[in-house]
């Protein structure tokens, strides 16, 4: 048969013994103070005057798709120009992503590469959306398609790796703060099942 630990039983008994004393003191205070207290004053909480940055998941997802498409267009232009003026893409990126972007662009610069063509994406699926009055955080899955993007060296020779996958599954995180402008916070290769093949 199960039996409670002696200390647990002692604590339970001690509480039971103290309860009447607490009630007696409370009742004595109420009697001395006039048998009761006046009705408490209810102060209504102020109504929030701020509205969310996005009215719905769909609106937030559309803003993220628009921001990502604009980022890819600028990024493709920077790479087509051999990595010139990479700060043009910074308007679409958070501080965290700016460092990663700079590293990728520097590889093009150091190698003397430039790109030809464009990057696209499809199969966008909302994973998570968190909305606060002055901020929003959105995570999506999508397929990035680089099949129309070639890498050329300074002589114009195509040096695109032959084994490069043309479509990759990504998990992206976007953040919007104090405006409805989404910025890319994180871009990771999806480690689960490839939903882009």
Instruction: Work out how many domains the chain is built from and give that number.
Output: 1
Region for residue 83 given its phi and psi (left: phi exceeds 0; alpha: psi -120 to 50; beta: otherwise) = left
Task: Please report the pLDDT score of residue 149 as a whole number.
Answer: 96
Task: Please report the pLDDT score of residue 105 as a whole number.
Answer: 94
Q: What is the model's pTM?
A: 0.73
Q: Is residue 22 part of a domain?
A: no
Distance CA 146, CA 167 (A): 6
Q: Is residue 93 part of a domain?
A: yes
Structural domain of residue 147, as residue ranges? 57-189
Q: Is residue 104 part of a domain?
A: yes
**Count of other CB atoms within 10 angstroms of residue 178:** 8
Distance of CA 61 to the CA centre of its chain: 12
Distance CA 129, CA 5 (A): 47
Q: Is residue 143 part of a domain?
A: yes
Distance CA 20, CA 150 (A): 83
Q: Is residue 52 part of a domain?
A: no
pLDDT of the chain along its 197 residues, tens only? 333 333 233 333 343 433 333 333 333 333 444 444 445 555 555 555 567 778 889 999 999 999 999 999 999 999 999 999 999 999 999 999 999 999 999 999 999 999 999 999 999 999 999 988 888 999 999 999 999 999 999 999 999 999 999 999 999 999 998 776 899 999 999 999 999 98
Q: Is residue 141 part of a domain?
A: yes
Q: What is the CATH number of the domain that holds 149?
A: 3.10.450.240
Q: Is residue 37 part of a domain?
A: no
pLDDT in tens, 75-117: 999 999 999 999 999 999 999 999 999 999 999 999 999 999 9
> CA nearest 137: which of 94, 185, 93?
185
pLDDT in tens, 156-165: 999 999 999 9
Q: Is residue 82 part of a domain?
A: yes
């Amino acid at each position: 048969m199960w039996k409670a630990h002696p200390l647990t039983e002692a604590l339970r008994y001690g509480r039971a013994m103290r309860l009447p004393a607490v009630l007696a003191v409370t009742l004595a205070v109420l009697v001395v103070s006039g048998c009761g207290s006046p009705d408490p004053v209810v102060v209504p909480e102020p109504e929030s005057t701020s509205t969310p940055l996005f009215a719905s998941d769909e609106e937030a997802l559309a803003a993220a798709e628009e921001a990502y498409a604009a980022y890819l267009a600028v990024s493709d232009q920077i790479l087509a120009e051999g990595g010139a003026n990479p700060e043009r893409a910074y308007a679409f990126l958070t501080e965290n992503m700016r460092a990663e972007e700079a590293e990728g662009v520097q590889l093009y610069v150091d190698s003397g590469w430039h790109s030809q063509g464009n990057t696209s994406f499809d199969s966008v699926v909302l994973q998570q959306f968190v909305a606060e009055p002055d901020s929003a955080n959105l995570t999506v899955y999508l397929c990035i398609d680089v099949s129309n993007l070639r890498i050329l060296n300074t002589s114009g020779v195509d040096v695109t790796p032959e084994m490069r996958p043309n479509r990759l599954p990504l998990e992206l995180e976007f953040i919007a703060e104090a405006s409805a402008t989404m910025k890319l916070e994180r871009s990771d290769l999806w480690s689960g099942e490839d939903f882009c093949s």
